[in-house]
Amino acid sequence: MPTAPRVDLRSDTVTTPTPEMREAMANAVVGDDVYGEDPTVNELQQTLACMTGFEAGLFMPSGSMTNQVAIAVHTRRGEEVICAEGSHIYEWELGMMATFSGVVPRFVPAPLGVPDPEQVRLAVRRSIHQSPTGLISLENTHNKAGGTVIPLEVMAQIRKVADDEGLPLHLDGARAFNAAAALDVPITEVCRPFHTVSICLSKGLGAPVGSVLVGSKQLIGQAHRYRKMMGGGMRQAGVLAAAALIALRDGPARLQDDHRRARHLAEALVNAGYDVNMASVQTNIVYATLPDAQRKVDAWAEKGVLGSALGPDAVRLVLHHQIDDEMLHRAIQVLTA
Ligand SMILES: *Cc1c(COP(=O)(O)O)cnc(C)c1O
C-alpha cells in the first residue's frame, strides 16, 4: 500500500473544499434560491456576471446542465447545433440536446480543438430540405483535444459568421478561465464574442459543486424555466455558492501554476519515451498515446498515482491546485519508472 497520499490526476474535478471553503459554507447566509432569495447565490451570480462582462448569471449543479439549459434557450426542436468535433455538449452529455431540446449536433472539424470559421459558415443550413441551424457552440478550452485554446481572432471571426447568419453563439467555457490564463488576457476577452457562456466552478477553480451560465438579463430569465424543468432548482444553495465565491476569488490566479506543471509532466513523459503531442499541451491537461491504456492506469494506481484511460490507447492526466510540485515529482517517478 502507498504510504504517501495518492496523486489524483484523473480530472480537475477531484479537488476537495479547502478549510476556508468549509468555514464559508458553514457560515453562509442562505434563502430559497428558487424564489431568488438566496443572498449568497445572488452574490455569486452577480460576481461572475460582472467578471465576465454579462448582465446576469444563473447557478446550477453542473456544467452539463448550464450547457443544456443554454441550448434549450437558444434553439427550437428540429434544429441543428454547429459545434467542434469532440465537443462535450454532445460527446459527454448523454444525448441530452436531442432528448431535452430535440436538436442534433453538426460537427465541424477542429484540429487542436479550433474550428475554421469558413467551415462553420459552410455548415450553416438554410434550405427547406434540411434541418435549420439554431445555434453555434464553441468549447474553450477544448477538453477532448487536450485542453487546447481557441485564439481570440478565431472566436471573433466565428462571431462574425453568427452575426451574418443571425445565429446565437454559445461558449462551453467549463475551463474559460484556463483559456484566459493561457492567452494571458482578462476573462472578459474570452467571453466577449458570445451570447451565453457556461463556466464551471468545480474544475480548475476548485469549488466542490457548481457551474454558472452567464448572459443577458433576457436570456438568463428564460434559462430559469429550463433549469427548473431539469430539476436544477436547489433551494438553500448558498452553502455551495459560498465555496464557489472563494474558488472564484483565489482560483484564477493559480491556473498558471497548473499549466506550468502540465508542461513539466508532458516533457518528462516525452523524455521517458511516451507519445505526447506537445502542441496540444496548452493548459492543464496532458494526453499520452500508449498501448493497453487501462492496464497501465491500473498499474500506476497500485503505486498511488491515478490517471484516466480514455479509449484503448489514450491516457489523460489533469493538473489542479491540489497537486503541488512534490506530488508531481512523485507522479513522474511512478509514470516514468
Ligand atoms: C466538465 C465539463 C463540462 C461539465 O461537466 P459536469 O460534469 O456536468 O459539470 C462541460 N464542458 C466541458 C468541456 C467539460 O470539461
Task: Point out the domain boundary residue: 250, 281, 297.
Answer: 250
Please provide the average confidence, as pLDDT, over all residues in the chain: 97
Please check whether residues 168 and 267 belong to one and the same domain: no
Ligand 1 binding pocket includes 45 (Cβ within 6 Å): no
Please check whether residues 25 and 134 belong to one and the same domain: yes
Specify burial of residue 143 (Cβ count, 10 A radius: 0-12, 13-18, 19+): buried
Three-state SS sequence of 61-130? CCHHHHHHHHHHHHCCCCCEEEEECCCHHHHCCCCHHHHCCCCEEEEECCHHHCCCHHHHHHHCCCCCCC
Residue with the smallest CA separation from ligand 1 atom 4 is 63
SS3 breakdown of the chain: % helix, strand, coil, rounded to 5? Answer: 45, 15, 40
Please check whether residues 26 and 168 belong to one and the same domain: yes
Domain count, the chain: 2
Please check whether residues 286 and 138 belong to one and the same domain: no
Ligand 1 binding pocket includes 139 (Cβ within 6 Å): yes
Task: Point out the domain boundary residue: 202, 221, 250.
Answer: 250
Q: Residue 280: pLDDT above 60?
A: yes
| Beta carbons within 10 angstroms of residue 302's beta carbon | 10
Q: Is 13 a domain residue?
A: no
* pLDDT, tens digit (0-9, with 9 covering 90-100), for 65-95: 999 999 999 999 999 999 999 999 999 999 9
CA 305 to chain centre: 23
Please check whether residues 262 and 149 belong to one and the same domain: no
Q: How confident is the model at residue 231 (pLDDT cuts 50, 70, 90)?
A: very high
Burial readout 170-180 (b: 16 or more C-beta within 10 A, e: otherwise): bbbbbbbbbbb
Q: Residue 3: pLDDT above 80?
A: no
Task: Give the model's pLDDT for residue 4.
Answer: 75
Q: How confident is the model at residue 259 (pLDDT cuts 50, 70, 90)?
A: very high
* pLDDT, tens digit (0-9, with 9 covering 90-100), for 121-135: 999 999 999 999 999
What lies within 8 Å, CB to CB, of 335 at 6+ separation is 268, 269, 272, 300, 305, 307, 317
Please check whether residues 120 and 175 belong to one and the same domain: yes
Distance CA 150, CA 115 (A): 8
Task: Give the model's pLDDT for residue 1.
Answer: 53
Entry pTM: 0.97
Q: Are 140 and 171 in contact (CB under 8 A)?
A: yes
Q: Which atom of ligand 1 is nearest to the CA of 87?
A: 13
Q: How remote is the CA of residue 126 from the centroid of ligand 1, in Å?
A: 30
Q: How remote is the CA of residue 285 from the centroid of ligand 1, in Å?
A: 14
Report the percentage of the chain scoring pLDDT > 70: 99
User: Domain range spanning residue 134?
Assistant: 19-250
Please check whether residues 122 and 210 belong to one and the same domain: yes
Q: Residue 261: pLDDT above 70?
A: yes
Please check whether residues 232 and 114 belong to one and the same domain: yes
Q: Residue 155: pLDDT above 70?
A: yes
Residue with the smallest CA separation from ligand 1 atom 5 is 63
> 140 phi and psi, to 5 degrees?
-145, 110
The type of residue at 121 is: R
Q: Residue 137: pLDDT above 70?
A: yes
The type of residue at 197 is: V
Cα dihedral value 32, 38, 44, 50, nearest 10: 110
Q: Residue 2: pLDDT above 90?
A: no
Q: Is 2 a domain residue?
A: no
Please check whether residues 177 and 41 belong to one and the same domain: yes
* pLDDT, tens digit (0-9, with 9 covering 90-100), for 281-317: 999 999 999 999 999 999 999 999 999 999 899 999 9
User: Within 13 Å, how many C-alpha atoms sit on residue 3's CB side?
Assistant: 0
Q: Which one-letter DSSP state was computed for residue 197?
A: E
Using DSSP's 3-state secondary structure scheme, residue 212 falls into strand
Task: Give the model's pLDDT for residue 332.
Answer: 98
Q: How remote is the CA of residue 174 from the centroid of ligand 1, in Å?
A: 6
Instruction: Name the nearest CA neighbour of 40 among 281, 242, 264, 282.
Output: 242
Q: What is the mean pLDDT of residues 134-144?
A: 98
Q: How confident is the model at residue 171 (pLDDT cuts 50, 70, 90)?
A: very high
Q: Residue 59: pLDDT above 80?
A: yes
CATH number (domain holding residue 257)? 3.90.1150.10
Q: Is 6 a domain residue?
A: no
Please check whether residues 279 and 246 belong to one and the same domain: no
